[in-house]
Structure 1
Amino acid sequence: MVNAIKKEAIKKEAISGPILAVLPKFIGDAINTLSAIELIRKLYPDNEIYLLARPYMVELFARDKFYNIKVITDERFGEAKLSVFSLAKKLKQHKFSMAVLFRGSLSEALLAKLAGIKTVIGYAQNGRKPLLSHPLNLNVNHHYLLRYCRLINETHGNCFEQFDTPKLTYQQVESAVSDNDKINIGLYLGGKNKGARHYPFKQAKQVIALLNEKYLPNLILIGDRSEQAENQKLFEYANSLNMTCTDLTGKTSLTDLVDHIAAFDLLISIDSGPMHMAAALQTPCVAIVGQGTSPWSLVVPKTPNVIAATAEHSLQLNDSFLVQDINPENIVQRSNALLQTSITFIDKAELTLPQPNKQ
């Protein structure tokens, strides 16, 4: 399969003005573009780089301290509900020299064209090849990080050999729990809104019981408002075990959620946005991986602080039942492997071992 459509490499000196990066719609995907954003910054250290982001992501990326970026709200999806033509008119005022389309829709290519951006990089999918100055063929077997980085590297003459993992900026928060002498374990198992990724309640109870037996931790439940009913049941079960438990479900903004995940000693999460946040924050994370929105090999975080608990020996014919075959003991065993090497666990266990900087 030919991966790249042959095109003359972009000359860096020709890109003298600001650069626009159009982010994907989901937070995990948007976080994964940061590896490619870093390549853009290395190529163009003096250019302004703007991210076009959905309204709910703006605050998160606007406080960035790693990539020297600015953020524009994609008002097509905000209260204003701008048309692609109206948004293009606003973008045109910035006089962008180049646009990188990390989202694969036709509307993003049309937006860049209407905004008068001459150099437009993206994958030649959804009929948008004629609107791109530098189209690439998508290799669906490539990891998402590589997909995004290829857009930069191959259009600039393959000047990079490697990329780095994404990094998120966070702020320190006051503890959400009352007992700071215990380890803090975050738990995100999704709700019915997550379909086949949702970890069943019966097994979730077993995970909580095993964690309580092994660590007596502070348990912090996270999720969005649609998941409050499921997490309320977990909260009540944790209380029945006399665990220290805090339910933050539906009570945090996106930035608050990131800040809390950064403070966890461990996060146990289904394959979803919080998992990618933990990876970018270097928070140890056990990922519960059944049937995902993409094959696990394409989205697995490329960082040692995330390990997966999978249904690798499942014989289920229905993919939606895979997550049910992930054993609670398996999850806790992987949690222990991460906690044994976590600095915060070492501190609270009062062991005298080297203490690497989490940052």
Structure 2
Amino acid sequence: MTLPTKQYATILVVMPKYIGDAIMATPALRLLEQLHPNAVITLFCRNNAVYELFTHHSCYQVVLDECVNGKQHLRQSRQQIQQISPDVAYLFRNNFFDALLLKLAGVPRIIGYQHDGRGWLLDYKEKIDRVRHYINHYAHLVNASHQFPFKRLPDTHLQANADTFKQDCIQVAVYAGSKQKGTRCFPTSSLVNLIAGLYEQCDKFSQKVLFTLIGAKDEQDYAAQIAEQLQHQAITVVNQAGQTTVSELVDLIAAQNLLITIDSSPMHIAAALKVNSLVLVNHGTSPWSVVAPKVATTLAVLPLGNMIENEDQSHDLDMAHALSLSCQLLNISEQGLAEQNKQDEGSSPLENYVETTQEKLE
């Protein structure tokens, strides 16, 4: 089934629930922009964090569903959609309720994946490919419904302002998760050893480095444990876990020279901002192959395959290799230092390591 090719004036996109998934949908949004350059694209968010993310870090109109957290009745959500009056709606969520809501709101064209018994509510539907990467999953829906005009994916993308959190040193943010992340949570001892090793390498080349711990409010205690262990080793660390809004977190990550993280929302934020990232991959909620960032600025360390149980995978990572990759991403080596000094003999080594779109440090 195909829809007639036409220019839409108003496009509604029902966004994924989680930040990482929503960021992986940004290439699909960029395809819609190319296909309908004069259209108003409105993102319908059913999560406060996703709403805040795109309100401050995108060029789209953003609406928060009034039914979020069950505070309002379905009628309010329907009225919101009717006020937007979209020509077409793209469902980037796969549940029955969202399709029914759009149908009740009288949206003339509803496009989504056939799932949860909702196929009869859709004007254009595609079958879900469970092994397709999430980025491709969203982009395919746009591409297929327009008769496949594109071959290549755009990058994930967010807007940010790094100035707010920029410091006169190498900046490394660290996100380890917490017990709430299940098997994705990274052991404090291994992470502290990695950070200490990176600190020693920076110190070897007289590079000042600031480590910043990030996370949600329910991850503050876990981050505090890491901070305490680092402070005992006289390593400068700032614990920002639970202290930032989503918008501030994006700007904070944008200011970093490196993010050390697990598979998480911060990982996808860094990828969209082209911030260097080292990902410590454990067993996650989705296979790594369908969520891995598609950017050269992200490197990953995966389990070696020696452990049986999921909860033991984090102990099967080559941490020496993780340290080597971290130094590679920061270009910390005798060769890297020489290359950078050769490029700009008049600047300090620190200036050469700070790779952002901001002006060079004085």
Query: TM-score, normalized by length of structure 1?
Result: 0.90
Change (3 A) 1:246 1:21: same
The Cα shift of 1:96 comes to 0.7
Amino acid aligned to 1:194: K
Distance in 2 of aligned mates of 1:293 and 1:51: 25
Which of the residues 1, 6, 24 maps onto 1:12? 6
Amino acid at match of 2:67: R
Give the Cα–Cα distance (whole angstroms) in 2 for the partners of residues 146 and 26 of structure 1.
17
Q: Deviations over 1:44-70 (max 9, x none)?
A: 1111100011222223212345xx410
Give 2:331's match in structure 1, choosing from 317, 326, 340.
Answer: 340
CA offset digits 1:300-320 (Å, max 9, x no partner): 111000010111x22222122
Tell me what 2:82 maps to.
92
Change beyond 3 A, Cα 1:325–1:265: same
| 1:243-262 pair list within 5 angstroms | 243-262=235-254
Secondary structure of the equivalent of 2:13?
strand
Name 2:144's counterpart in structure 1.
154
Q: Count how many residue pairs are aligned between Structure 1 and Structure 2.
A: 342
Q: Match for 1:24: what amino acid?
A: P
User: For 1:133-152, what per-residue CA distance to the aligned partner results, in whole angstroms no more than 9, with x for missing partners?
Assistant: 00100111111111000110
Give 2:115's aligned amino acid.
Answer: Q
C-alpha spacing 1:111/1:341, structure 2 compared with 1 (3 Å): farther
Give the match for residue 48 of structure 2. 55
Partner of 2:109: 119
Does 2:208 match 1:221?
no
1:37 to 9, 12, 29: 29
1:174 match: secondary structure: helix
How far apart, in 2, do the equivalents of 1:43 and 1:143 lie? 22
| Deviation (angstroms), 1:164 | 0.8
Residue matched to 2:125: 135
Residues 1:211 and 2:201 aligned together: no
Partner of 1:271: 263
Q: Is the 8 A contact 1:210 1:329 kept in 2?
A: no
Quote the residue 1:193 is aligned against.
180
The question of whether the paired residues in 2 share the 8 Å contact of 1:197 and 1:292 is answered with: yes
Amino acid at match of 1:232: A
Change (3 A) 1:102 1:208: same
- Partners of 1:336 and 1:176 lie apart in 2 by 20
Distance 2:127 2:356 in 1: 38
* Secondary structure of residue in 2 paired with 1:268: strand
Q: Post-superposition shift, 1:357? A: 7.6
Contact conserved, 2:259 with 2:270, CA < 8 A, in 1? yes
- Counterparts of 1:281 and 1:38 in 2: how far apart (Å)? 15
CA distance in 2, matches of 1:209, 1:253: 28
Cα distance in structure 1, aligned partners of 2:18 and 2:278? 21
Please state if 1:299 is matched with 2:276: no
The Cα shift of 1:176 comes to 7.0
After superposition, the C-alpha distances for 1:311-341 in whole angstroms (9 at most, x for unaligned) are 1x22222122212211322221111121129
Distance 1:114 1:320 in 2: 44
Q: CA–CA distance in 1 between the matches of 2:343 and 2:321?
A: 27
Question: In structure 1, what residue type is equivalent to 2:309?
Answer: N
Q: 1:113 to 1:209 in 2, by over 3 A?
A: same
Matches for 1:166-177 after TM superposition, within 5 Å: 166-175=156-165
Q: Is the 8 A contact 1:85 1:111 kept in 2?
A: no
- Provide the residue aligned with 2:20 in structure 1: 28
TM-score (norm 2): 0.89
Task: Write the letter of the residue equivalent to 2:310.
Answer: D
